[in-house]
Amino acid sequence: MDVSAAVLGLESSCDETAAAVLRADGTILAEAVLSQLEEHAAFGGVVPEIAARAHLEHLPRLAARVVAEAGLGFGDLAGIAATSGPGLIGGLIVGASLGKGLAIAHGLPFVAVNHLEAHALTATLPGLVEGGARFPYLLLLLSGGHCQCVAVEGVGRYRRLGTTLDDAVGEAFDKSAKLLGLPWPGGPALERLAALGDPARHKLPRPLFGRAGCDFSFSGLKTAVAHAVAKHPPGALPAQDRADLAAGFQASVAAVLADRGRHALDMLPGATALVVAGGVAANAAIRAALGRVAAERGLPLVAPPIRLCTDNAVMVAWAGIERLRRGLTDPLGHAPRPRWPLDQLSG
* CATH number of the domain enclosing 251: 3.30.420.40
Per-residue burial over 289-318, b if 16 or more Cβ lie within 10 Å, else e, is: bbbebbeebebbbbbbeeebbbbbbbbbbb
How many domains does one find in the chain?
2
Within a domain: 184: yes
Look at the alpha carbons of 164, 169, 172, 176 in this order and tell me if their dihedral is positive or negative: positive
Within a domain: 129: no
Q: Same domain, yes or no, for 163 and 184?
A: yes
- Say which residues have a Cβ less than 8 Å from residue 26's Cβ, sequence separation at least 6: 125, 126, 127, 132, 318, 321
Q: Same domain, yes or no, for 103 and 157?
A: no
Q: Is 102 exposed, middle or buried (0-12, 13-18, 19+ CB in 10 A)?
A: buried
Within a domain: 131: no
Within a domain: 130: no
Residue 32 β-bridge partners: 19
Q: Same domain, yes or no, for 51 and 104?
A: yes
Start-end of H helices in the chain: 37-41, 48-69, 89-106, 115-121, 169-179, 186-194, 219-230, 239-267, 284-296, 313-324
Q: Same domain, yes or no, for 32 and 104?
A: yes
Q: Same domain, yes or no, for 145 and 37?
A: no
Residue 22 β-bridge partners: 7, 28
| Closest listed residue to residue 213, CA positions, set 163, 153, 250 | 163
Amino acid at 255: A
Annotated binding site: 115, 119, 141-145, 174, 187, 191, 283, 311
Annotated binding site for substrate: 141-145, 174, 187, 191, 283
Within a domain: 41: yes
| Closest listed residue to residue 187, CA positions, set 105, 281, 315 | 281
Q: Is 131 exposed, middle or buried (0-12, 13-18, 19+ CB in 10 A)?
A: exposed
Within a domain: 1: no
Give the domain extent around 168.
Answer: 136-303
CB neighbourhood size of 129 (10 A)? 17
**151 φ, ψ (degrees, to nearest 5):** -85, 115
Q: Same domain, yes or no, for 272 and 297?
A: yes
Q: Same domain, yes or no, for 47 and 171?
A: no
pLDDT of residue 322: 97
Measure CA 26 to chain center. Answer: 19
Each residue's pLDDT, cut to its tens digit, for the chain (347 residues) gives 888 899 999 999 999 999 999 999 999 999 999 988 788 888 888 999 999 999 999 999 999 999 999 999 999 999 999 999 999 999 999 999 999 999 999 999 999 999 999 999 999 998 777 777 899 999 999 998 889 999 999 999 999 999 999 999 999 999 999 999 999 889 999 999 999 999 999 999 999 999 999 999 999 999 999 999 999 988 789 999 999 999 999 999 999 999 999 999 999 999 999 999 999 999 999 999 999 999 999 999 999 999 899 999 999 999 999 999 999 999 999 999 999 998 888 64
Distance CA 129, CA 80 (A): 25
pLDDT of residue 347: 46
Using CA atoms, how far residue 280 sits from 46, 130, 306, 323, in Å, is 17, 24, 10, 26
Using CA atoms, how far residue 152 sits from 157, 268, 304, 306, in Å, is 6, 10, 16, 21
Look at the alpha carbons of 83, 308, 323, 62 in this order and tell me if their dihedral is positive or negative: positive
Q: Same domain, yes or no, for 147 and 263?
A: yes
Annotated binding site for Fe cation: 115, 119, 311
pLDDT of residue 246: 98
Share of the chain above pLDDT 90, in %: 87
Longest Cα–Cα distance in the chain: 65
pLDDT of residue 346: 62
Q: Same domain, yes or no, for 273 and 199?
A: yes
Within a domain: 258: yes
